[in-house]
């Protein structure tokens, strides 16, 4: 079992059949720690599309020992239709899992408008989720 929320989310997404049927392998799911991670992900865009990037937006203590975190998860693809298909797989993955590896609650807060990135020539759809989980290693 993963020891932190980032690892748990990675494990959930890379073990989901719906998501993995749309991406080639688990290397196409990236946690963005910093700009270097973003650049590494973007350098793979030509050969590794579609892919998923995700990062923590906020982390607030809710009621000890539980925490509440907002994460943005983005589906990236060469076409808007592919990005939407991957977005739907991500939403389905988390909708059907309500108690997973210490995560006790999942809520989809928002779906941002579709974005076309001219630099990398890809479509992206940003999803914002709330996860409530037991206080784990960060």
Per-residue pLDDT of 71-123, as tens digits, reads: 999 999 999 999 999 999 999 998 876 567 777 777 888 888 788 888 878 89
pLDDT at 127 over 70: yes
Angle CA 122–36–101, to nearest 5:
85
| Domains in the chain: boundaries | 5-134
CATH of 5-134, one of 3.30.2000.10, 3.30.70.100, 3.40.50.920, 3.40.50.80: 3.30.2000.10
The pLDDT assigned to 44 comes to: 59
| pTM for the model | 0.82
Instruction: Round the average pLDDT of the chain to a whole number and report it.
Output: 80
Cβ–Cβ under 8 Å, residues 51 and 28: yes
Q: Which residues contact 125 (CB under 8 A, 6 or more apart)?
A: 74, 75, 83, 84, 86, 87, 111, 112, 114, 115
Phi, psi values for residue 27, rounded to 5°: -65, -10
């Amino acid at each position: 079992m993963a020891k932190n929320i980032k690892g748990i989310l990675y494990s959930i997404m890379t073990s989901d059949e719906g998501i993995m049927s749309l991406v080639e392998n688990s290397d196409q799911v990236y946690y963005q720690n910093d700009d270097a991670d973003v650049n590494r992900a973007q350098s793979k865009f030509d050969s590794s599309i579609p892919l998923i990037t995700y990062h923590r937006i906020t982390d607030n203590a809710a009621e000890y020992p539980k925490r509440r975190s907002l994460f943005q998860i983005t589906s990236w693809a060469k076409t808007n239709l592919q990005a939407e298909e991957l977005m739907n797989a991500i939403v389905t993955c988390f909708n059907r899992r309500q108690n997973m590896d210490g995560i006790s609650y999942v809520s989809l807060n928002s779906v941002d408008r579709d974005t076309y990135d001219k630099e990398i020539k890809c479509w992206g759809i940003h999803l914002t989720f709330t996860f409530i989980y037991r206080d784990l290693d960060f």
